[in-house]
A and B are shown apart, each in its own frame.
Chain A
Amino acid sequence: MSRFTAGDHVCVAFDGGDELLEAVADSARCALENGEKAVCYTAQFLPLAVEATLEASDLRMRAGLDSGQVVIASVHDAHLVTGQFDPERTITAWREKIGQARQDGFAGIRVIADMSWAADIAPARVNRLAWYEAQLNRVFAAGFATVLCMYDRRLFTQAQLNAYAPAHTASARAESGVLRQLRIAHTTDPRGLRLSGEADLATAVAVEAVLAGLPEDVPGDGPLVIDLSGLAFADVGTITSLVRTARRNPGMRFASPTPLVGRMLEMVGEFEGVRVNL
Chain B
Amino acid sequence: MSANPFAHPALFYRTPAGYADQLGRFIHGALEGGHPVAVAVPKPNLDLLREHVGPGAAREVQWIDMFEAGRNPGRIIPMVLLATARAHPGRRAHIIGEPIWAGRTQAEYPACAQHEALINDAFAGRDAIIVCPYDESALEPSVLADALHTHPTLTDAGRTWTSPGYDVQAWRRFNPPLGDPPEHALRVDVADNSDLVLVRKFATELYAACGMPGELTSRLVQAVSEVATNTVVHGDNGGRVSLWFEQRALVAQVDSEGGMPALSGRIPPADGGPGYGLIVANVLCDLVCVHFGESATAVRMWVSSPP
Contact = CB atoms under 8 A, between A and B. Distances in A.
Contact of A201 (B193, B219, B280): B193
B253 interface: no
Contact of A260 (B197, B222, B268): B222
B192 interface: yes
Nearest to A198: B197
A260 B215 CA distance: 9
A63 B161 CA distance: 92
Nearest to B269: A271
A179 B280 contact: no
B229 A165 contact: no
A166 B192 contact: no
A262 to B, nearest CB: 12
Contact of B193 (A200, A233, A236, A267): A200
Contacts of B274: 237, 240
B268 A180 contact: no
A200 B277 contact: no
Contact of A179 (B197, B226, B279): B197
Interface in B226-279: 226, 229, 232-233, 268, 271, 274, 276-277, 279
Nearest to A203: B193
B233 A201 contact: yes
A200 B197 CA distance: 8
B214 to A, nearest CB: 10
Nearest to B276: A236
B194 A179 contact: yes
A264 B193 CA distance: 21
Q: Is the interface of A mostly helix, strand, loop or mixed?
A: helix
Given A165-B193, A202-B196, A237-B229, 20 more contacts: A158-B192, A162-B192, A162-B193, A202-B193, A202-B194, A233-B200, A233-B221, A233-B222, A235-B196, A235-B222, A235-B277, A236-B226, A236-B276, A240-B274, A258-B218, A260-B219, A260-B222, A264-B222, A268-B276, A270-B83
8 contacts: A200-B193, A233-B225, A235-B196, A235-B225, A236-B226, A260-B222, A264-B280, A267-B283
Interface residues of B, number: 26
Nearest to A159: B192
A67 to B, nearest CB: 38
A235 B193 contact: no
| Interface size class, chain A | 20 to 34
A236 B268 CA distance: 12
Given A179-B194, A180-B197, A260-B219, A201 B276 contact: no
A77 interface: no
B271 A272 contact: yes
A271 B229 contact: no
Given A235-B229, A236-B277, A271-B276, A200 B196 contact: yes
B124 interface: no
Interface of A: 158, 162, 165-166, 171, 179-180, 198, 200-202, 233, 235-237, 239-240, 258-260, 264, 267-268, 270-272
A239 B268 CA distance: 14
Interface in B191-210: 192-194, 196-198, 200
A166 B198 CA distance: 16
A236 B269 CA distance: 12
A200 B268 CA distance: 20
Most buried by B among A162, A166, A258, A271: A271
Nearest to A171: B194
A264 B276 CA distance: 10
Contact of A235 (B192, B215, B226, B279): B226
A165 B194 contact: yes
B192 A240 contact: no
Contacts of A200: 193, 196-197, 225, 229
A97 to B, nearest CB: 29
A171 B232 CA distance: 17
Contacts of B283: 267
Contacts of B229: 200-201, 235, 237
A201 B222 contact: no
A272 B269 CA distance: 9
A172 to B, nearest CB: 10
